[in-house]
Amino acid sequence: MVTSAHEGMHRIFQERPEILTPVFGLLGIPLSAKATVDAVTTDVTEARPLERRVDTVLCVGPSDGEDFLLAIESQSGKDEGKASSWAYYVAYLQAKYRLPVLLLVVCQDRSTAKWAIGPFDCGTRDWTAQRTFPLVAGPDNLPKITDVRTAAKNPALAVLSVLAHARSTDCEAILRAITAALQEMRETDPETADYFYDFLEISLGNAPAGQKLREIMSFVSYFPGRGTVRETAYVEGKTEGEAKGILSVLEVRGIPVSDSVRERITTCTDLDRMDAWLERSRTVERAEDLFAEDPDVPETNPEQA
């Protein structure tokens, strides 16, 4: 069954091809950071009665060598039928595109990764006609990135680290590192940060790692105007903190606050307006003067306060 986690484990290579260089480095295969990467059709069906489809196929153009195809499969468990499927993918793609083919299998648990290494033989009577050696990326060779600086330096690899170690006891530390790094990234590259946040939320789904992600995001993330769960949680927490700050400043300055003013402050959800109120709270003579410069609200009469 195709799941969000299954899609995420291979689709990230399509949508963020910069992850290929560090992953290949971990696998001991040099790949230039300047390599070009283009998606190729994943349909490898030769005849309609037997439909076959690779998760992801990329054409990689290294700057220091010949182009090659990279077939990427996401594997959540052992599947004996893959021995023949993977051999077929490699042979078919090589015959069709006349390019060398590598097969990368991305796994989320050690037992699946150990099995996926193979090799997978096709033959009989002690004779091997074809042997498939997949490259395997999984918990044992994908790093646990728990440092914010490392995650910020290579966010695509950090996201893959989350997916590979989603079932490990270190998952929360990895999630905290990547969410903190992406929060910093929003200052310079909000589009990429938003992409990675959404990618993680969708890929992890309702699994324990996904629930933990949403819990962490509710405290550190802000995605203005999108109405997501994390935006709502952030805004609610942020406005509550702003309200406490405004009331605290007024209290320290000895300025009385009426019930109507307190209610208006604590029920406001406009962060920009609350920022302005917080700034004014340091200089106003009356609590009602916080609202004096609000264009859509008339100034309160002192005798009515």
Q: d(Cα 77, Cα 62) in Å, to the nearest integer?
A: 32
Is residue 228 domain-resident?
no
| Domain finish residue from 221, 255, 274 | 221
Nearest to 106 by CA among 16, 5, 201, 207: 5
Query: Where do we find the tokens 């997949």?
Result: 134
Q: d(Cα 225, Cα 162) in Å, to the nearest integer?
A: 27
Nearest to 107 by CA among 137, 129, 127, 132: 137
- Mean pLDDT, to the nearest integer, of 38-58? 57
pLDDT tier at 295, thresholds 50, 70, 90: low
Dihedral sign (CA 266, 269, 274, 275)? positive
pLDDT tier at 109, thresholds 50, 70, 90: confident
- Mean pLDDT, to the nearest integer, of 87-91? 89
Q: Reply yes or no on whether the pLDDT at 303 is more than 60.
A: no
Query: Where do we find the tokens 């300047």?
Result: 34
Per-residue pLDDT tens over the stretch 242-283: 888 888 888 878 889 999 999 999 888 887 888 889 888 888
Which residues on adjacent β-strands are paired with residue 53? 43
Lowest mean pLDDT across 1-10, 108-117, 121-130, 295-304: 295-304
Is residue 28 domain-resident?
yes
Is residue 190 domain-resident?
yes
Count CA within 13 A, CB hemisphere, residue 151. Answer: 25
Q: Tell me, what's the pLDDT at 223? A: 44
Query: CB–CB of 108/145 below 8 Å?
Result: no
Number of domains observed in the structure of the chain = 3
Query: Where do we find the tokens 């530390």?
Result: 173
Q: d(Cα 116, Cα 82) in Å, to the nearest integer?
A: 9
pLDDT tier at 7, thresholds 50, 70, 90: low
Query: Can you give the residue range of the structural domain that contains 207?
Result: 148-221
- 79 and 39 in a common domain: yes
Query: Would you give the distance in Å from CA 223 to the centre of its chain?
Result: 14
- 128 and 244 in a common domain: no
Cα R_g (the chain), whole angstroms: 27
Helices (H), the chain: 4-15, 20-26, 82-97, 110-116, 148-153, 155-164, 171-185, 190-204, 208-220, 229-252, 259-267, 271-280
Is residue 227 domain-resident?
no
| Domain finish residue from 96, 117, 137 | 137
- 211 and 297 in a common domain: no
Per-residue pLDDT tens over the stretch 141-197: 888 999 988 998 888 888 888 888 988 888 899 998 988 888 888 888 888 888 888
Predicted TM-score of the model (pTM): 0.57
Query: Would you give the distance in Å from CA 249 to the centre of its chain?
Result: 39
Q: Reply yes or no on whether the pLDDT at 298 is more than 70.
A: no
Q: Tell me, what's the pLDDT at 114? A: 92
